[in-house]
Amino acid sequence: MQAAPLDNPRYYLANFDTLIDWVCQCHADLLTEAERATVDAITRLPDASRALLVRLLMRKGDHFERSQLHYPEIGAIEAACQPLITPLADSATPDGLCRHNADLSLDEMLALVTLPRLRAAFAELPRSTPKRRMHDAISELLGDVTPRPLPAWLNDPAADTLSVGLGELSRRLSLMFFGNLRQNLSDFVLSELGLLRCETVALSPASRAFTHRWEVDRYLALEQLREDWQQASERLDRTANAELERHWQRIVAALDATASAAANELHSEPSATHQLTDAHATGGRAIDDRANAWLAQRRDRLRFSLARDAERQGWHQAAARQYACLEDSAYAPRAMPRRVRALELSGDISAAHALASERLARAEITLDEQLALERALPRLCRGLGLPAPRRARAPTTPQIALTVPDLATSAADGIHGVERAAAHALATPEAPVFYVENGLIPALFTLLCWEVLFAPLPGAFFHAFHTGPADLYRPDFVSRRQAAFEACFARLKDESYRTVIRERHQQKQGIQAPFVHWELLSEELLNHALDCIPPAHLEACFRHLLANPREHRAGLPDLIQFFPEHSSDRYRLIEVKAPTDRLQDNQRQWLALFARHAIPALECRVEWLSATEASADECSRHKAPPAS
């Protein structure tokens, strides 16, 4: 499987055929007979017709005016259209793959027609009517806005249209191939252009994105709910809160339907030769957390997002109820503090206090949840008239002050951003500073564990355009690779880790990988890091990253400074804070880890030096390395 060369005028058709072939080879049993009939019809189309179909599929929307379609490599559109609009009995598309002059809603028509043509077609309207007013204006003018073909809308017999009629099938095929809805056929092109370089991983038909049709159904259903909500909130936000809330309730109810226990059908997957039942085809089956933990996680993620939106709308009780559903999910460390806050704002401070206390009393509490709850607890105690718990939280992270020229002055010198200004002020020839944020330590992890991350485990890689294992953020990612990760970390006990990291840096340069930003990872930076950071420190950071890759991939300090000439404390991590800024939760988590492992980190509080007081003396006050 690989992208077609771009000197092929129909490169996109070749890519599409590759996708379809792979899906049919690996996922044929996840399609209904009707869908397979449609796919077969597509593959049997004349090349010109299939090329036109692909061109349309890759464009936005389903409806196109035929006279606007110009593709030299396809030729006559008229001829290419005919096979597309031929009815297909017993397929998922009985009316054909495309439709000729399909009925268009008013909005669909407006999306197709430019303003000058609208003004010509509806000459009764004021000439100055902007397009955004056209929907209402035409509605008032005509009264009846029943969907109708474009020639009827415009009273122009020449305005023929062609509409893609594949419905959800094209999304479904793309989802089954890529395992997500974010990637599409353009990834083939990016790959061929060299802009998307992916690691080569052995693929086998046994390794595929989905193993059951209901998994695809649920994925699509969840995504549909997310889009429905997004569309509703964009349309109704700040204008129709009651209606918006009804939409929200409907979405949540649909989510609950997928969460209810109904695992009894799990092992009744019909064979590939049998027609699927309606229940299967419509996706009316619940997600079983044990059967598919990652779909359950996607559902929980959507629930969390919906609850956050409910909070923003002020629906605190409703939000709290949704957060409560996440108590046993992977999102509990984020959801429980939000639940506390929602309870608090809904007026039930005692419930908020009780929940916060109960969560904080747990032995297995994660650091991020603990930090968030500890911040809320004193406020809740005050609200209940209880004595505030002791806050013996001495600042475990040392701070330094630094005065630098203000941003306008720095920008004039080509230094943009407070982090770069601080880096410039702190750096010396003996102690270089790099602005790395999340680009160094997680990248070193990836380089050390490259083989583990790109190991061809089932379900991890299933096409040629992966930027990392598909299950990286799924609950069992580490446990499936535990022994292999330990073997990598064992290299930190001898000296071999340096060789491995340097080799990967050389060999894999430019290949997309999780946590790696190649443009940041210069040879010089790498050498300093391997020279100055003790492997025990790296191991502590790597294990923290693995403890929760999604939550811990960010929050590392802005700068790293190396002291190659020193014999101890040969580096330090520096979080730069402008006067208007303060530590964020994920930054505090990392700083807590650094304190726990005696990793040298500090907070650098920046103050502005006005241009009139500027002097080299002031700027260089705090360059001294940390005292040891």
Interface ranges with DNA (CB under 7 A): 6, 11-12, 55, 58-61, 71, 114-116, 130-132, 181-183, 186, 189-190, 193, 195-196, 311-312, 341, 345, 372, 375-376, 379, 382, 418-419, 437-438, 553-556, 558, 575-576, 578, 580-582, 584, 586-587
By beta-carbon proximity to Mn ion, the closer residue of 58 and 595 is: 595
Distances (CA, A) of 509 to 199, 443, 465, 521: 11, 12, 16, 10
Question: For residue 72, how many other CB atoms are within 10 A of its CB?
Answer: 6
By beta-carbon proximity to Mn ion, the closer residue of 62 and 558 is: 558
- What is the C-alpha separation between 200 and 382, in angstroms, rounded? 58
Distances (CA, A) of 536 to 128, 314, 461, 532, 594: 70, 47, 31, 12, 12
Task: Give min distance, CB of 6 to Mn ion, in A.
Answer: 38
- What is the C-alpha separation between 596 and 458, in angstroms, rounded? 37
By beta-carbon proximity to DNA, the closer residue of 413 and 494 is: 413
Give the DSSP H or E segment for 572. Answer: strand 571-577
Closest C-alpha among 599, 607, 541, 549 to residue 580: 607
- The order of strands in the sheet holding 571-577 is 399-405, 601-609, 571-577, 559-562, 433-435
The 340-379 contact track toward Mn ion, x by CB under 5 A, reads ----------------------------------------
Binding partner selected for residue 365 from Mn ion, DNA, none, CB under the kind-specific 5 to 8 Å limit? none
By beta-carbon proximity to DNA, the closer residue of 379 and 623 is: 379
- What is the C-alpha separation between 195 and 192, in angstroms, rounded? 8
By beta-carbon proximity to DNA, the closer residue of 376 and 533 is: 376
213-236 and 241-259 are packed helices; what angle lies between their axes, rounded to 10 degrees?
170
Binding partner selected for residue 130 from DNA, Mn ion, none, CB under the kind-specific 5 to 8 Å limit? DNA
By beta-carbon proximity to Mn ion, the closer residue of 560 and 576 is: 576
Distances (CA, A) of 268 to 217, 251, 263, 430: 15, 28, 10, 68
- What is the C-alpha separation between 515 and 461, in angstroms, rounded? 18
Binding partner selected for residue 518 from Mn ion, DNA, none, CB under the kind-specific 5 to 8 Å limit? none
By beta-carbon proximity to Mn ion, the closer residue of 307 and 418 is: 418
401 CB contacts (<8 Å, ≥6 apart)?
Answer: 604, 605, 607, 622
- What is the C-alpha separation between 307 and 323, in angstroms, rounded? 7
E-state strands within 376-435: 399-405, 433-435
Task: Give min distance, CB of 481 to DNA, in A.
Answer: 20
Looking up tokens 């580490």 gives 478
The reply on whether position 422 binds Mn ion by CB under 5 A is: no
Binding partner selected for residue 160 from DNA, Mn ion, none, CB under the kind-specific 5 to 8 Å limit? none
Binding partner selected for residue 372 from DNA, Mn ion, none, CB under the kind-specific 5 to 8 Å limit? DNA
Binding partner selected for residue 186 from DNA, Mn ion, none, CB under the kind-specific 5 to 8 Å limit? DNA
- What is the C-alpha separation between 470 and 198, in angstroms, rounded? 13
The reply on whether position 558 binds Mn ion by CB under 5 A is: yes
Task: Give min distance, CB of 341 to DNA, in A.
Answer: 5
By beta-carbon proximity to DNA, the closer residue of 489 and 515 is: 515
Task: Give the count of residues interacting with Mn ion (CB under 5 A).
Answer: 2
Q: Name the segment binding Mn ion (CB under 5 A); options: 137-145, 472-480, 558-566, 609-617.
A: 558-566
Task: Give min distance, CB of 131 to DNA, in A.
Answer: 4
By beta-carbon proximity to DNA, the closer residue of 320 and 431 is: 320
Tokens (6 digits) for 611: 């241009």
**From 576, 591, 601, 609, residue interacting with Mn ion (rule: CB under 5 A):** 576
Site for Mn ion, rule CB under 5 A: 558, 576
